[in-house]
Structure 1
Amino acid sequence: MVHSPHELHLAKLRVVLANEFGEGAMKILGVTRRDLEHLLSDRLLHRELVRSGKHVIVEKTPDSLCHWERLRECWPDARYIFLLRHPAHIVDSLYTAHPELGRERLYAEHLERFVEPMRRARESLDGIAVRYEDFTADPETEAKRICAYLDVPWEPTMLEYGRVSRRFRYGIGDWGDRIRSGRIQSMRPLPLPDEVPDQLRDWCRAWGYMPA
């Protein structure tokens, strides 16, 4: 019942009113450029949902976290799932994909970019938190919890994503060997507290991976 397309990057869509006639026409309708962008995003999601023949659609672009206010404005009835993972492993994953950036830059940019928006989003939106570590350890239990939250029936085939052809491509989702394997893989051991870089300690505390 759930359709989860590739990352859609809806926050990057822009509507351009090319001249004063278009601006005037929209002004008479009482429609702003932001309203038009919301309509475009909503229409895209509706199109994909209808094409899938399912009942619930997921927007899972990680950068959407930085635009959660717009999501709430556009879809006031949306339901939210906050995905958490140990910050050291997030940086490891990003570094594997982009070694040219260096770890120090990843520490600084992603601390600033994601930690504060996640804090504000969790304080402002109703939703559930799902930890990567919990899901990989017991995917069935976590998937059932998510289904209960979304009010959709649990189906064992939800965990058999390797049966379905997927687009593994840079820019629209994960493309690494682990996801290409078609099965949920065990997580690596978490770093001990004294192994966590100083730059990540506040992040780890904020997300419950280290004592406050």
Structure 2
Amino acid sequence: MGWKSKVNVALEEATGYRFKKMTSQEPPPPPAPEIRPPADPGADRLLTAPIFVLSPPRSGSTLLRVLLNSHSQLHAPHEMHIRRLTVNLTTDPVQQAMEALGHNQSDIEHILWDRMLHRELVRSGKPFIVDKTPSNSFAWKRIATCWPDARFVFLLRHPASVARSWHEGDPDERPMEEAVRHTLRFMRAVEDARKAFDGLTLTYENLTGSPEETLRRVCDFLDVPWEPSMLSYGDHEHGGFVKGIGDWKDKIRTGSVQSGRPLPRPDEVPHDLLPISEAWGYVNR
């Protein structure tokens, strides 16, 4: 008997325990839960036709939010980041209980998402909610599955301006090369969603250059009446402008639509942004 076995025998006689070598192989992770639409929409969903603004960061989504939130029928809170709200079925009994009700993990997460947005809507006293979280661009398939009646508004901006603005937010930590890579991920996701849905496409340049015309298009798309007071968003309450859940810079705090920066020249567009710039009509090659 080797010394390790002798130690184990002595340990077991003294304590009732033994050393056991841990295996390096971990059990495979459980399969991801199926993402599926509500089985019973009348019971599983409180919201009707929620509105989602999909855009890259630094594209004017906070400006669009406060303009829409100034409408008497539209509630547009700060970025909600609902796709990061998750649930964890930690024990076999709770999994068994939920399965008996017909729910998997993603079903319960969808119910949670719907409830959180509905709570915000009820507190506002308005009939329709707008969520403008830019990272929703990576979750458009799941959002459309969660709410089959969801409506989508796509807000575009010149890709080079998007990357430049994101870079300028923290030049030391966000070199321009990284800004291009980071923002291009969002742009590609937004473009994929645009190809999938019959939503409304707006541009930041039109929103800042012709705000009334642009907002009239939004109102027509959402089937709500045009309200001139939308343009004076500073006269309405929108909550705080807080970093991390929306734009917080001085420009958005002015309370009125400000002109955008001049468009980049074609030779100023980074090479990696040329295809998406062409797809969005900003560059002709």
Instruction: Flag whether TM exceeds 0.5 (same fold).
Output: yes
TM-score bin (small chain): over 0.9
Q: How does 1:166-177 map onto structure 2 within 5 Å?
A: 166-177=239-250
The CA distance in 1 between the partners of 2:177 and 2:257, in whole Å, is 30
Q: Does 1:195 align with 2:280?
A: no
Q: Does 1:206 align with 2:279?
A: yes
Larger Rg: 2
> Secondary structure of the equivalent of 2:131?
coil
* Equivalent in 87, 90, 101 of residue 174 of structure 2: 101
Identify unmatched segments of 5+ residues in structure 2: 1-72
2:279 counterpart letter in structure 1: A
Partner of 2:101: 29
Partner of 1:186: 259
Q: Does 1:134 align with 2:214?
A: no
Return 163-172 or 39-48, whichever deviates more. Answer: 163-172
Q: Does 1:65 align with 2:137?
A: yes
The CA distance in 2 between the partners of 1:162 and 1:58, in whole Å, is 18
Residue 98 (structure 1) shift: 2.3
* Equivalent in 86, 107, 123 of residue 51 of structure 1: 123
The CA distance in 2 between the partners of 1:85 and 1:210, in whole Å, is 12
CA contact (8 A) 2:89 2:95 kept: yes
Partner of 2:82: 10
The TM-score with structure 1 as length reference comes to 0.96
The CA distance in 2 between the partners of 1:208 and 1:69, in whole Å, is 25
CA contact (8 A) 2:188 2:276 kept: no
CA contact (8 A) 2:137 2:186 kept: yes
Partner of 1:76: 148
The TM-score with structure 2 as length reference comes to 0.72
Residue 80 (structure 1) shift: 0.6
The CA distance in 2 between the partners of 1:118 and 1:141, in whole Å, is 23
CA contact (8 A) 2:74 2:129 kept: yes
Number of aligned residue pairs: give it. 211
> Secondary structure of the equivalent of 1:82?
strand
For 1:30-83, what per-residue CA distance to the aligned partner results, in whole angstroms no more than 9, with x for missing partners? Answer: 101001110001001111111100011001100001100011001111111000
CA contact (8 A) 2:207 2:214 kept: yes
Higher helix share goes to which structure? Answer: 1
The 4+ residue runs of structure 1 with deviation greater than 4 A are: none
The CA distance in 1 between the partners of 2:217 and 2:157, in whole Å, is 18
Q: Does 1:90 align with 2:159?
A: no
For 1:94-117, what per-residue CA distance to the aligned partner results, in whole angstroms no more than 9, with x for missing partners? Answer: 112222121111111222x22321
% same residue: 49
CA contact (8 A) 2:232 2:256 kept: yes
The CA distance in 2 between the partners of 1:95 and 1:108, in whole Å, is 11
The CA distance in 2 between the partners of 1:116 and 1:94, in whole Å, is 16
Partner of 2:9: none
1:152 counterpart letter in structure 2: V
Identify unmatched segments of 5+ residues in structure 1: none
Residue 12 (structure 1) shift: 0.8
